[in-house]
Structure 1
Amino acid sequence: MPLAWISSYPKSGNTWVRILLASYRQDRGVRLRWAGDGFKNLDATDPDLYDLFAEGRMLPLDDPRLLTVKTHLLPSAEVFEPYRDATTKVLHVVRNPRDIMPSAERFLTVSARHREAFARHFIAHRGMEGWQRYGYGTWPQHVREWTTPDVLRRHFPRAELCVLRYEDIKRDPVTSLHTAIEFLGLDRMPDLGRIRRAVGHSALDKLRAAERPDPDKPAFFGTGLSGQSLTSYGPGIEDAYQALLRDDPQFAGCVERFGYGG
């Protein structure tokens, strides 16, 4: 079974990429099945590893189709052991941490009075501390381990790597989806008309209108803003982020590597 991981740090666009891929495969809009904290098993070929395990299932190693599977875990996670040799592709989605922060804040329904504390927590822990306990690592650790070929191949020795920036997907979804389809080998010659239809079906405004979330929970899809200022979090938060860039070479290196500036 050929297996590809769609990996990302949380709130970086992983679900959007899966919807784009599923819409291309099906050549129609994807029916979203909301389960309170995300979209479940959009298609048998584009599952979420967490969903499968939560349902007591494993990936079908005898399936001849390419499976593209969502994960936020670090590549060293023990749950990957049965799948290391079967993994042939890794498509990693990376996003500016400036934009992950407000996206996570919205999704976690952080109250107005706690916004500044949330931002300080995110900066101090290089991401969400709770997500580290889940096995996602810090933002720079996650990005480095999934996007450094030598590191990645210690865990998936046969894997080829492709990295997509969230910002590029948003700016030019047609080219980004074409790149993903070509890399994954879904079609020898990707169908441009079909790609454009998939992009149309998967526009963020349409997904926000279609998801029908639990009224007691926030909408999964936000507006997808990029390069946001941190000044709305209160005095000193932008300065704290700049200090992180000065004092943490690993964090700063990841930021610079993917063109996120200061």
Structure 2
Amino acid sequence: MKKSIVWLASYPKSGNTWTRIFLANYLMNAKEPVPINEVHRIGMGDSIAKTYHMVAGRKVDTSNVELTLALRDKVMRGIVGNNADVNFVKTHNIRMVARGVPLVPEKYTKSAIYILRNPLDMVLSYARHYSSTVDDAVMRIGREDNGNAPDDKTVAQFLGTWSDHVNSWTKSVPFPVLAIRYEDLLEDPEKYFSKVLEHIGVPVDPERLSRAVEFSSFKALAAQEEEVGFVEKPQSAEKFFNKGQSGQWKNDLSEELIQKVKRDHGNVMKRFGYLS
């Protein structure tokens, strides 16, 4: 059985979906934008409830976290069972052992692409996405027990703090990891998406790259969502693709919350150039 999983990993609202949509457009060599609701065709999520039902042979109670964790290895084995060289898997899980179960098992893993975003900006998108206050979002990303509760469509996700999440994917990792900042993708998408392609061993064709970048631009994605909706948008959120900007925190985050984020995550922020 091949180690074929290439994780597309991030803390929520950090650019994971953008990266997946770019890859869909590039790998499918699309001449028209790939519909955003078909992006799953180039990969899957590790927390989709129906895959847990499938490996169990019955509908399982997703609120039973011990049960879904016990099924996780079968889900991973099912993903790599096609014997493909690469299987893309989206995850928001921290790279840790949860209740005795490794969330990111090395035995199935080829490599990872990790997208991180300045937490001062990320927390604003996080609050909108989960329909919480920004104060609550700042508190949540600083908690070791932070996670996403299970529902009918997804099993429980283990996030931890923003800092612990970033460190888990970028320090002492037993497989190759390409870490890319969301802000760098915004500033020069062709340069940094080229790095993504090189990481997975795909030749970079300039014309194809330019087209895929255009098709996965925030403007194009927001227009698609406006027209047809997006299946990954939470019911409580007004829209999935909201602004996609960098530096919004300077206007929208209170000084008190800015200082709390810096206190909680300053060391990792400095490591990735978010604090001087």
Normalising by the smaller structure, the TM-score range is: 0.7 to 0.9
Shift of 1:132: 6.5
Pairing of 1:85-234 with structure 2 (within 5 A): 85-110=107-132, 118-127=133-142, 130-131=146-147, 134-148=157-171, 150=172, 152-153=173-174, 159-185=175-201, 187=202, 189-211=203-225, 212-213=228-229, 217-229=237-249, 232=252
Shift of 1:15: 0.7
Shift of 1:184: 1.1
Compared with structure 1, are the counterparts of its residues 130 and 144 closer, same or farther at alpha carbon in structure 2 (3 Å cutoff)?
A: closer
Q: One-letter code of the match for 1:144?
A: N
Q: TM-score, structure 2 length as denominator?
A: 0.75
| Secondary structure at 2:43 match in 1 | coil
Deviations 1:204-241 (A, max 9, x none): 111111123278742111211112235545xxx31343
Mapped partners of 1:176, 1:67: distance in 2: 21
Q: One-letter code of the match for 1:147?
A: T
**Does structure 1 conserve the Cα–Cα contact (< 8 Å) formed by 2:8 and 2:89?**
yes
Show structure 1 runs of 5+ residues with no match: 34-39, 111-117, 154-158
Compared with structure 1, are the counterparts of its residues 165 and 232 closer, same or farther at alpha carbon in structure 2 (3 Å cutoff)?
A: closer
Mapped partners of 2:53, 2:224: distance in 1: 25
Mapped partners of 1:127, 1:218: distance in 2: 25
Mapped partners of 1:30, 1:141: distance in 2: 34
Mapped partners of 1:184, 1:106: distance in 2: 32
| Secondary structure at 2:134 match in 1 | helix
Shift of 1:130: 4.9
The equivalent of 1:37 in structure 2 is none
Compared with structure 1, are the counterparts of its residues 191 and 54 closer, same or farther at alpha carbon in structure 2 (3 Å cutoff)?
A: same
The equivalent of 1:113 in structure 2 is none
Q: One-letter code of the match for 2:188?
A: D
The equivalent of 2:69 in structure 1 is none
Per mean C-alpha deviation after superposition, the further-off stretch among 20-29 and 71-80 is: 71-80
Q: What root-mean-square deviation, in Å, do the aligned CA atoms of Structure 1 and Structure 2 show?
A: 2.5
**Does structure 2 conserve the Cα–Cα contact (< 8 Å) formed by 1:131 and 1:137?**
yes
Q: TM-score, structure 1 length as denominator?
A: 0.79
Mapped partners of 1:229, 1:75: distance in 2: 28
**Does structure 2 conserve the Cα–Cα contact (< 8 Å) formed by 1:89 and 1:160?**
yes
The equivalent of 1:42 in structure 2 is 40
Mapped partners of 2:267, 2:238: distance in 1: 33
Compared with structure 1, are the counterparts of its residues 143 and 209 closer, same or farther at alpha carbon in structure 2 (3 Å cutoff)?
A: same
Mapped partners of 1:217, 1:122: distance in 2: 14
Compared with structure 1, are the counterparts of its residues 127 and 103 closer, same or farther at alpha carbon in structure 2 (3 Å cutoff)?
A: farther
Length, aligned pairs only: 232
Q: Does 1:64 align with 2:89?
A: no
Compared with structure 1, are the counterparts of its residues 20 and 55 closer, same or farther at alpha carbon in structure 2 (3 Å cutoff)?
A: farther
The equivalent of 2:269 in structure 1 is 255
**Does structure 1 conserve the Cα–Cα contact (< 8 Å) formed by 2:14 and 2:117?**
yes
The equivalent of 1:17 in structure 2 is 19
The equivalent of 1:114 in structure 2 is none
